[in-house]
Amino acid sequence: MDPSRIVEEFPAPSFRGAQRRALEDIRAAFEAGNDVVLVRAPTGSGKSLLARAVAGCARRAGAAAPTEPVGAYYTTPQVSQLDDVAGDDLLEDLSVIRGKSNYDCILPGETDTPVDRAPCARERGFDCPVEHRCPYFSDRAIASSRPVAAMTLAYFMRTAGSDVFGTRDVVVVDEAHGLAEWAEMYATIELSPSTVPVWDACEPPDVADLSDVEGYTERLTTVCERRQTELRSKAELSPAEVGERDRLAELVRELEWFLEDLRDSDSPTTWVADRRETGAVTVKPLDPARYLHHTVWDRGRRFALLSATILDKAAFCRGAGLDPDDVALVDVPHTFPVEHRPLYDVTQGKMTYERREETLPAVARTVVRLMARHDDEKGLIHAHSYDIADRLRDLLGEFGVGGRVRGHDSETRDAALAGWKRSDDPDVFVSVKMEEALDLEGDRCRWQVLCKAPYPNTNDSRVARRLEDGAWGWYYRTALRTVIQACGRVVRAPDDHGATYLADSSLLDLFERARGDTPDWFAAQVDRMERPALPSFETAVDVAGGSADGRERGGRRSRSRSRSRSRSSRSDGIDDADDLDDHPLSDVWGDG
């Protein structure tokens, strides 16, 4: 790696904000001998451009011995982030590769067949006459030979040990704050009728502890391998059998990895297991440092990890299997004016599982009032869960403003989001799990609402185990990290502006509990937070598109901006929040 090239490798024609200073600090950190550099850069600061500059410093083929790794990987856990990279003209030299299921076969009669179900996957010894033009294998060949290959973190981890994507000189991980959690998720083994093709032949026993799981996984591995042998004996497979074959191969690898790690007395990984009422078993790792070494740290010589929300360096390093003393941290200052990214307190009470039924109608009424305040601007609702999203949309419909409200389910997520982003109407999009990697610059969105404090679910055995071990700092940091990420969705440039409204009083409690881990630039937003003056609900229903008795108006209302937009003083227009409950788990017990 040659860090001295970092400024010339920056792909934009000019620098914005603190980008030039950030590049110089990153260069100094690598030149000081650090193999891993954390870059803590606020949302909207151009992390992808910084990432490209770092990747451009990788050793080049002509300057390396045959045994030395060259080139770089760019990887991100977010599919939408990779989509943005693929569509950015400034990043056109990043060669993007995706999984086989994202490409269609080009053979006649197979153009609607994903490559992972095409004849080359179904028929033994199939000689494809157009393999040289296959979109997947073409992209893979290009990405494997170009200086910078870009892929999702899932694909990057899955190709560990691959001859095609071997060790490179530099690895850049964008949105790296959740690296340990993503590794845990990828290393988790789901054993259920939908994930185990031989379920009927090998159902799990009652699971009392890990010894029960160990014995079951041994038996399951044997049954899977027997079925693999049967499938391999066939000259041609149906599409369904191809899927079964591939899933069996993946499952056997997962089971063998689990057994090897479980039996390794030197492994730092702790495993936990759950058995649900359906009979399904989930095996999960805690802090899978060994998994990360195999899938990430063994894939490069130098690493740059970028995120706005690496809140605690030492804690991040522990979770990722790194020694904090061997890792440098570069802090990039926030250059967006704090008055352009205001927080507003519109809390209506707690959104805990027990209190949600009484709080959510008040939240919905507040959303109607916000829709009136922003009657010609698009808005985003972070609903936290589909249960909350569905109930909120129902309430908004009952209040007569449903014509201005959009939403999605797990199947329509991407299409619904794309349609809302393309629209010029001032519609409100009720979203689930869109707090990260979503760029809503300018009039794409001017305001958003956080419905619920995003604490980890304590019904998850990993979360419960950590809290039993006293990891409350991790618990609060995880929630704060999500809040900060969400707040960055609507302010993407120094001259951009967008308001974030907090509807759950538990968010105020979170800010107090996690104050020590809060970046200064976000603490400034919290310190300026106030309760806004909003129109009454009755007035708001009419302005926002309906009437107080819930009947839809006959057409789109005129978009008058004559109402007051005073944002500088507290108002009795918002009810005072309920007193905060001091118990840290009051916000999460029983929440799915």
Which contiguous run of DSSP H or E holds residue 213?
helix 210-232
Confidence of residue 44 (pLDDT cuts 50, 70, 90): confident
Which amino acid type is present at position 196?
Answer: V
| CA dist 299 → 156, 303, 546 (Å) | 9, 10, 57
- Among 44-58, 350-364, 547-561, the range scoring the smallest mean pLDDT is 547-561
Number of neighbours of residue 422 by Cβ within 10 angstroms: 8
Q: Specify the CATH number for 3-93+147-184+291-331; select among 3.40.30.10, 3.40.50.300, 3.40.1350.10, 3.40.50.970.
A: 3.40.50.300
End-to-end Cα separation, the chain, in angstroms: 46
Three-state DSSP string of 318-376: HHHCCCHHHEEEEECCCCCCHHHCCEEECCCCCCCCCCHHHHHHHHHHHHHHHHHHCCC
- Among 54-63, 432-441, 474-483, 582-591, the range scoring the smallest mean pLDDT is 582-591
Tokens representing residue 508 in the block: 């105020």
The percent of residues in the chain predicted with pLDDT above 90, rounded, is 63
Confidence of residue 462 (pLDDT cuts 50, 70, 90): confident
The predicted pLDDT at position 570 comes to 35
| CA dist 561 → 209, 342, 361 (Å) | 63, 20, 27
Strands (E) across 411-531 are located at 428-431, 447-450, 499-502
The bridge status of strand 189-191 relative to strand 270-275 is: unpaired
The predicted pLDDT at position 545 comes to 67
The predicted pLDDT at position 261 comes to 87
Give exposure, 309-321, as e/b (b: 16+ Cβ within 10 Å): bbbbeebbbbbbb
Residue 585 pLDDT > 70: no
For 307-366, write each residue's pLDDT tens digit.
999 999 999 998 898 999 999 999 999 989 999 999 999 999 999 988 999 999 999 999
The predicted pLDDT at position 547 comes to 40
Identical fold for domains 3-93+147-184+291-331 and 338-453+481-544, yes or no, is yes
Confidence of residue 222 (pLDDT cuts 50, 70, 90): very high
Closest CA to 347 of 483, 251, 452: 452
CATH class for domain 338-453+481-544? alpha beta
More confident residue, 314 or 125: 314
What strands lie across the sheet with 405-406, from one edge to the other?
343-345, 499-502, 447-450, 379-382, 428-431, 405-406
What strands lie across the sheet with 168-173, from one edge to the other?
95-96, 148-152, 72-76, 168-173, 300-307, 36-40, 327-331
For 159-203, write each residue's pLDDT tens digit.
998 889 999 999 999 999 989 888 888 889 999 999 999 999 998
The predicted pLDDT at position 137 comes to 92
The predicted pLDDT at position 331 comes to 94
Beta partners for 447? 379, 499
Number of neighbours of residue 366 by Cβ within 10 angstroms: 22
Instruction: Please state the domain extents for the chain.
Output: 3-93+147-184+291-331, 193-279, 338-453+481-544
For 384-394, write each residue's pLDDT tens digit.
999 999 999 99
DSSP 45: S
**pTM here?**
0.82
